[in-house]
């Protein structure tokens, strides 16, 4: 998988749609500026009140992408349930890309524009010190202190309050745990329950709780800018029972979303001293 986290598309289906539910399908297709295309999935639809929460992927769809003056036929990966291309398709900020999905006799289409890269990405601190933890009566106070002090902020420019999200990934050499074998398991589990993926946000900073991370060493921060196709869906992801007939979507003749993201990266380290 390309990403250690994935934004969830929340789509609700109603049995009152004019098109029978079994004749429709869901497109979840995401392009990432500067990265290969492999995050395209076609799924069977489900009624909004279905007890079956397991996705059923469609592997026999014919999927095409249009961009940079060419068209590309995507192949299906039965292990991951995704469509991809190994062709030299470059995803470029500012360019428009199209998708066409054919399932049996039904064709769905959509277009999306790749946003510009985030601006001004940096860390407030690039090196965070967490001294080795020792099992002792003073440990609870030490952990409480570190929970507040061992932090760094991801910062970027966002005067227009555009939506972004970020990921934090360990890129150090091998395992080097902050919580060693002497520390009771429930303590380490408590401090590792924090997500390494942010929710979509419109601010210009994100506070990293370093005690929520597992290892000493280097961490890569990737900040993604979200385009309008996706954040419109995100802003509409909470619906009441009177709105189930119109699930948010930018796909013509099917459900789902076709969107694009642009990113920039920085890094920081957690050290012993």
Chain segment 210-256, per-residue pLDDT in tens: 998 999 999 999 999 998 778 777 666 544 433 444 556 889 999 99
Do residues 262 and 118 make contact, with C-beta atoms less than 8 angstroms apart? Answer: yes
Per DSSP, the chain holds a count of helices (H) and strands (E) of 3, 15
pLDDT digits 0-9 by tens, 62-119: 999 999 999 999 999 999 999 999 988 999 999 999 999 999 989 999 999 999 999 9
Q: What are the structural domains of the chain?
A: 21-116+225-262 (no CATH), 119-224+265-271 (2.60.40)
Q: What angle do CA 182, 184, 189 make, to 5 degrees?
A: 120
Report the largest interatomic distance among the alpha carbons of the chain, rounded to a whole angstrom. Answer: 69
Pairing of strands 25-32, 255-271: parallel
Inform me whether the pLDDT recorded for 156 exceeds 90. yes
Q: What does residue 93 show for φ and ψ, rounded to 5 degrees?
A: -55, 135
- Give the pLDDT confidence score for residue 174 in this predicted structure: 87
On the question of pLDDT at 9 being above 50, the answer is no
Percent of the chain with pLDDT over 70: 81
The per-residue pLDDT for 7 is 43
CA distances from 200 to 3, 13, 74, 121, 204 (A): 15, 23, 28, 16, 12
Region 128-145 average pLDDT: 91
The residue whose two tokens read 């909470």 is 238
Confidence of residue 48 (pLDDT cuts 50, 70, 90): low
* Averaged pLDDT of the chain: 84
Identify the residue with better confidence: 197 or 113: 113
pLDDT recorded at residue 13 = 45
For residue 245, what are its two tokens? 């007939």
What is the Cα–Cα distance from 133 to 150, expressed in whole angstroms?
13
Q: Are 60 and 98 in contact (CB under 8 A)?
A: no
Looking at residues 145-160, what average pLDDT do you find? Answer: 95
Q: What is the mean pLDDT of residues 4-13?
A: 42
Rounded distance between C-alpha atoms, residue 164 and residue 166, angstroms: 7
* CA 87 to centroid of chain Cα atoms: 23
Computed over its alpha carbons, how large is the radius of gyration of the chain? 22
User: Tokens 């900040």 label which residue?
Assistant: 223
What pLDDT band is residue 49 in, cutting at 50, 70 and 90?
low
Report the alpha-carbon distance of residue 23 to residue 96 in Å, rounded: 29
């Amino acid at each position: 998988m390309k990403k250690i986290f994935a934004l969830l598309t929340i789509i609700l289906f109603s049995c009152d749609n004019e098109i029978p539910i079994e004749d429709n399908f869901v497109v979840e297709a995401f392009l990432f500026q500067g990265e290969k295309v492999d995050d395209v999935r076609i799924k069977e639809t489900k009624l909004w009140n279905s007890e079956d929460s397991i996705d059923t992927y469609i592997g026999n769809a014919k999927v095409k992408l249009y961009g940079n003056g060419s068209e590309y036929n995507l192949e299906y990966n039965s292990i991951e349930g995704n469509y991809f291309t190994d062709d030299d398709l470059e995803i470029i900020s500012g360019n428009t890309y199209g998708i066409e999905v054919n399932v049996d006799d039904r064709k769905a289409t959509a277009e999306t524009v790749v946003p510009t890269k985030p601006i001004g990405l940096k860390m407030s601190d690039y090196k965070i010190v967490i001294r080795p933890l020792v099992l002792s009566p003073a440990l609870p106070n030490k952990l409480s202190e570190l929970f507040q002090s061992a932090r760094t902020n991801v910062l970027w420019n966002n005067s227009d309050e555009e939506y972004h999200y970020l990921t934090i990934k360990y890129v150090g050499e091998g395992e080097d745990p902050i919580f060693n074998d002497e520390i009771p398991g429930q303590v380490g589990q408590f401090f590792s329950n924090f997500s390494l993926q942010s929710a979509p946000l419109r601010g210009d900073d994100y506070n990293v709780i370093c005690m929520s991370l597992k290892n000493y060493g280097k961490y890569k921060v990737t900040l993604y800018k979200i385009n309008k196709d996706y954040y419109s869906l995100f802003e509409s992801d909470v619906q009441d029972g009177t709105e189930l007939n119109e699930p948010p979507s930018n796909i013509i003749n099917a459900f789902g979303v076709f969107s694009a993201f642009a990113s920039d990266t920085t890094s920081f380290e957690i050290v012993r001293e």
